[in-house]
Structure 1
Amino acid sequence: MQVKRLLLIATLALTAACSSKQVIDENLSEAELYQQAQEHLDNTSYTSAVNTLKALESRYPFGRYAEQAQLELIYAYYKNQEPEAAKAAAERFIRLHPQHADVDYAWYLKGLASFDQDRGLLARFLPLDMTKRDPGAARDSFNEFAQLVSRYPNSRYAPDAKARMIYLRNLLATYEIHVARYYLKREAYIAAANRGRYVVENFQQTPAVGDGLAIMTEAYQRLSLDDLAASSLATLKLNYPEHPSLESGEFVPSEEEADTRSWLSRATLGLIESDAPLPPGQTRASQDMERLYRDAVEAIPAELQPENAPQADAPNPPRSWWSRLSFGLFD
């Protein structure tokens, strides 16, 4: 059923695109143009309404309907699924008529245009998770609604703007949680902890705060920062005792601890251990860098080394030909 609806919409859009360009009678008066634009709006012919309103404004820039035409042009762009044009028209109206009695409506439409900018035709018919999409338009919409509420707290559009701001704030917080979980999977624990703390500090009273505390706890545990992990866990238990990461009062990490064994050890199920377990905070890459540094220091002739040259922590035994051939993989 959804596929049929999408095909119907695509057909209608193609037909509209291929239709002839609207011709507006040059002899129409200002009042007749405005009346014609109203009829197009009432019939949901938003493309025709846009063309008529633009013609009215260009032909009668100082007429009695000029300001109203600019305001209704914002609405026509918005209903015609042209968010960028709607925002540009709203910004123009706000700049030209900052004291207009309906300027709050321009702010409201500007926020609505950003609010629906990421909600195309697919989002209307398919179950897309908006919290995993680029939050740029959501941030713009939140800021524009915030401007409306702060500048015009008694506006009739303020209650709806506040309700949308709550939704947008929850959406932005959940997006940060998705990013933090991605960092956890990539073992970027510092970045994950910072994202979790950002949610806790900047999105209070949203459902994502509990997730932020859980991510902080897990990341700090992986980093062996026991005091920070204990503090985050205590806050999580106190404020969100029913959080999914808590089972019988005990914290359960969402990600399994990374397997830092070599490929040979994993392939042989641990029967052949080519490398000792890594100490906390170290990686194979850091060990390789340290080994290369020691080899470079040892390769410098004694007569060329400065008196205060750094020395290796302990003398290393001569490397075998097998070790050099395998680049130290089987030391």
Structure 2
Amino acid sequence: MKSLQLKLITALVASSMVMTGCTTLKGAFGKKEEVIATAEKSDVSYYQDAQNALDKGRNREAITALTNIRTFYPTGRYAEQALLDLIYAQYQAGDFEAVTQSTAEFMRSYPTSRSIDYALYVQGVTHMGGSPKSSRLFRMDQSQRDTSWLRLAFNDFHSLVSNFPNSQYAPDAAQRMITLYNDFAEHELTAARWYIKRDAYLAAANRAKWVFQYYPQSEAVPEAMAILAYSYDKLGMSDTANQYKTLLQINHPQYLTGAGEVRLPNQGASSWGKRTLSMITLGKLGRSKDSFEATDSSYTGATRTQVVRQAAGLTLPQISESQDIESTPTTERRLPQIGLGLPKQEADAGRTNEVPR
């Protein structure tokens, strides 16, 4: 009897295990069938759909197809190229925040890829446009806006020209760097002009000296020199003013009158408009697999090697966020002191934006 009971218990346990195994197996197959049904197409089909959509300018359709490749075939043969095409499609669709996320993902996932230069270039162009929620590139004077995004762009381009000097994107990135470098200097001059209008000559000299010292290769240097000469004259520091006037007479006599007085440009003038026009003629963003298109075939400036080397040698001053001053300063902001050789009392007046009497 006990032997019969033992056999019955053993049979029930075995039956339960078989049923449980079948259920688990069924659940596993059910999950697999669900994945296959959701994917709908092979990676080849998705990729072809994406290419057809890109060819027709249907960027949203392309984004959907490329995202499906990244989702369902993350290690497939099209995964890397799909991410590159996704970067391009997102940029063309105006999804700039998504672009920077995708470029960061690409550089993290494929650090040895031959297309890292493309990812850096697109990331730089995107950062150059500013915050995804702000006005985009060319819609406002770059020198009169928050420079934090421009610094990111400058760093992206600097990484590109330094690490990939032979890249097809390097010359265009170099020209963008030079333009940004000039915009940073112009940003300082915008503040200096603001101070001049308010007779805050020591503060104006501070900002002009910043240009003179930290952006020596910029187009803003001549006007900065003129502001220094003008401001020191107003402060009664004739010897220092005359030193800058001598430099102006030798290098930029257009800033002096016949009587040797400083002639400042129109306060509303800047060279940004000229640089913006130049920027529009730079390279056209294309797909990573295509040859880079330079839209200005009449370019007669420095050679490719020269412009890349020039840009690689440019640096920005390291300024903490607390030192970054907007283009329309307030009396509460403090100016960075950069060794003007002024008496301590006058230097303190410059930091508090008070005009020495």
Letter in 2 for 1:57: R
Correspondence 1:248 to 2:261:
no
Contact kept in structure 1, 2:87 and 2:99, CA below 8 Å:
yes
Q: CA deviation at 1:121?
A: 10
Gaps in structure 1 of 5+ consecutive residues: 1-23, 256-280, 284-331
Aligned residue for 1:215? 227
Measure, in 1, the Cα distance between the counterparts of 2:60 and 2:228.
50
The counterpart of 1:238, out of the listed 220, 242, 250, is 250
Measure, in 1, the Cα distance between the counterparts of 2:61 and 2:38.
13
The counterpart of 1:136, out of the listed 142, 145, 148, is 148
Aligned residue for 2:61? 48
Q: Deviations over 1:140-193 (max 9, x none)?
A: 212211110001111111111111112222222222111111122233323211
Contact kept in structure 2, 1:33 and 1:53, CA below 8 Å:
yes
Contact kept in structure 2, 1:30 and 1:56, CA below 8 Å:
yes
Gaps in structure 2 of 5+ consecutive residues: 1-36, 266-345, 350-357
Larger RCO, structures 1/2 (Cα 8 Å, 6+ apart)? 2
Measure, in 1, the Cα distance between the counterparts of 2:195 and 2:132.
27
Q: Deviations over 1:226-262 (max 9, x none)?
A: 232222222222211123xx1115223649xxxxxxx
- Range moving further from structure 2, 72-81 or 117-126: 117-126
Please give the root-mean-square deviation of Cα atoms over the aligned residues, in Å: 2.9
Letter in 2 for 1:94: M
Aligned residue for 2:97? 84
Would you say how many aligned residue pairs link Structure 1 and Structure 2? 233
Aligned residue for 1:93? 106
Aligned residue for 1:194? 206
Measure, in 1, the Cα distance between the counterparts of 2:161 and 2:136.
28
Q: TM-score, normalised by structure 1?
A: 0.63
Measure, in 2, the Cα distance between the counterparts of 1:142 and 1:125.
16
Contact kept in structure 2, 1:40 and 1:49, CA below 8 Å:
yes
Equivalent runs, 1:110-189 vs 2, <5 Å: 110-117=123-130, 128-189=140-201
Q: Deviations over 1:297-316 (max 9, x none)?
A: xxxxxxxxxxxxxxxxxxxx
Q: CA deviation at 1:64?
A: 0.6
1:75 partner SS:
helix
Runs of 4+ displaced beyond 6 Å? 118-126
Q: Deviations over 1:275-318 (max 9, x none)?
A: xxxxxx7x9xxxxxxxxxxxxxxxxxxxxxxxxxxxxxxxxxxx
1:99 partner SS:
coil
Contact kept in structure 2, 1:148 and 1:158, CA below 8 Å:
yes
Q: CA deviation at 1:124?
A: 7.8
Contact kept in structure 2, 1:131 and 1:174, CA below 8 Å:
yes
